[in-house]
A and B are shown apart, each in its own frame.
Chain A
Amino acid sequence: MLGKNSTSEHGPKDHELTVTVFAPRSVDPKVFTWAKTLKVADAADEAARAFGYEAGTPTFQNEENEVLDRNKPLVAAKVKDGDTLELVDNGGGV
């Protein structure tokens, strides 16, 4: 019998989640697998680099149009396995 934290042959580990990330500048999305405890900031920074963004303050927007708090872990930001996220910049105006 598989243990709680064992890796399924076909899915992510229990402590990970896999999401599809769209970026405004790209026609095609990218798929990422991250630890649930990874901070939104770190995940967004990785996604931003993968899409070719430089500088800025990246975060994600979920399908409810909520902009995720960069300081929260993905799981605390209610990101779930299978979610679709949009990469957005969280910078402000002046």
Chain B
Amino acid sequence: MIPELMAACIGHELPAAREWANRHGLRLGWDELAMTLYMELRQPKTGEVFVLRGTFEGYKSVPPAWTFCDLSRSDCGQPKYFPRPENGPGGVSSIFLPTPVICAPFNLLAYAEHQGPHGDWGGPTKWLSAGQGNIVRATTIADMLQTIRSHFQYTAGRMSP
């Protein structure tokens, strides 16, 4: 996707994402040059802070690449930066797995083409309609953040020490 279109998509969606973050007392950091978003989440059960990162290369032809980083934001993707999953109320399965990947159609890193577990979603370019049945759906930046936060609320501890 050409850079101008990427910037337009992100520019269109960021205001709502910022409003959403403000409503929930969260701070959203956006690095325009790096096309990268950061958001700190505090785990309700432990009080620990986790740093969520989304990189938007190719957005919106492909979804962002979501992962967790250390507090300095210099190292990302390690199990110790991820929350340990717990299912939500009513047994809703978590988007967090026992492996360090956010498993949702809106995460580029969930696709087999990017070493993720899913080769059954039709590839990253089909992300806007990927998943069947009760698989979570989020197709704007704010919706993705809301979904990640919703599932994060039920996690407990870290995936590894």
Interfacial residues, chain A to chain B (CB-CB below 8 A):
22, 24-27, 55-57, 61, 65, 67, 69, 86, 88-94
Contact = CB atoms under 8 A, between A and B. Distances in A.
Chain B contact patch, size range: 35 or more
Nearest to B15: A27
B93 interface: yes
Contacts, number: 79
Contacts of A92: 87-88, 92-95, 134-136
B23 A55 contact: no
Q: Which are the 6 A-B pairs with shortest beta-carbon distances?
A: A93-B95, A91-B136, A24-B142, A92-B93, A56-B137, A24-B146
Q: Is the interface of B mostly helix, strand, loop or mixed?
A: mixed
B143 A25 contact: yes
A2 B150 CA distance: 44
A87 to B, nearest CB: 9
B108 interface: no
B55 interface: no
